[in-house]
Structure 1
Amino acid sequence: MDESYPKPRTSPPVLIRAARRSDGDRLAVLTREAWSTLHAVGPRPAGPYEPFFDDLHLPSHYLVAELDGEVAGFIRLVPASSLAANRHVRQIQGLEIAASARRRGVGRALLRGAYEAARRQSATRITLHVLGHNAPARALYEAEGFTVEGVLPGEFLLEGAYVDDVLMGRSLTDG
């Protein structure tokens, strides 16, 4: 058999798990390193002493991705509101992937983990907001079955340019 051709590179599996309080320092570092106006509307995270978890951002709201035994990303999944009328909806309020783990299936694995977590919470729908200029994220979400459900034109002023806030959603009962 001819062994001269290049063998396809296979990516190691991505492990998705519930966040632990002990992940906080690593997730804070990941957030600081990944911060960009491509996806963030808030200010750059402060120094290394700002805690990742607090009273509004609990470990139970997060799933963590591990790749090669290292934290490679996270997703934050929370109820869309405290109203009983939309108890069936979960909202993704953050998805971060380490630069070294991008284009390796981490984002897709985190989204799929979020779908399963939302279904276990009896959700039938999932939504998110994404900045209009974040083409890579929008392409991933569309590939995962999200559709644009609304746009707030020029909602944010980032680095001197107005940027749309795009609401996307998908059913969790369609597969």
Structure 2
Amino acid sequence: MRRTDGRHAPRVRRIRFIYDIIVVNALRRRGIGLAILRAGEGMARLMGLETVRLHVVGDNFAARELYRKAGFEEASVVMVKELSDPIGRRK
């Protein structure tokens, strides 16, 4: 695609973002989460989308392992530093 100034416009990727996956505690570790992810991936493919993305909290190791098992790879890391007070005073 060309822009009016003759340069190429950046390619727009069509993605599906998964916001929440919830499996109740009593039913975990039975493949339900993986089935949910696979169903979402199938829906994305039917819609002609190219990528599926999601966020996961860093210390949610069980979820991260599930996502790896489903073929997801880490693409970015968000680092956080809590400040005691916006102007530097200790609480």
> Shorter-chain TM-score: which interval?
0.7 to 0.9
Among 39, 44, 49, the alignment partner of 1:118 is: 44
TM-score, normalization by structure 2? 0.73
Q: What SS does structure 1 have at the residue aligned with 2:19?
A: strand
Structure 1 outlier segments of 4+, above 3 Å: none
**Which position in structure 2 is the counterpart of 1:85?**
12
Rounded to whole Å, the distance in 2 between the matches of 1:101 and 1:151 is 30
Q: Please identify which structure carries the higher strand content.
A: 1
**How far did residue 85 of structure 1 move?**
2.1
Letter in 1 for 2:12: A
SS of residue in 1 equivalent to 2:38: helix
Task: Indicate the residue corresponding to 1:134 in structure 2.
Answer: 60
Partner amino acid for 2:76?
Answer: G
What is the RMSD computed on CA atoms of the aligned residues?
1.7
Cα distance in 1 for partners of 2:80, 2:69 equals: 25
Point out which structure has higher relative CO (alpha carbons under 8 A, 6+ apart). Answer: 2
Within a 5 Å distance, the mapping from 1:9-88 to structure 2 comes to 85-86=12-13, 88=14
In structure 1, runs of 5+ residues without a counterpart are 1-83, 158-175
How far residue 108 of structure 1 moved from its aligned partner, in angstroms, is 0.5
TM-score (norm: length of structure 1): 0.39
What is the letter of the counterpart of residue 106 of structure 1? I
Secondary structure at the aligned position of 2:20 is classed as strand
Where structure 2 has 5 or more consecutive residues not aligned to the other structure, the ranges are 1-10, 83-91
Q: 1:2-13, aligned counterparts within 5 Å?
A: none
Aligned-partner Cα distance in 2 for 1:141–1:131: 12
Percent of residue pairs identical: 33
CA distance in 1, matches of 2:16, 2:70: 16
Partner amino acid, structure 2, of 1:124: E
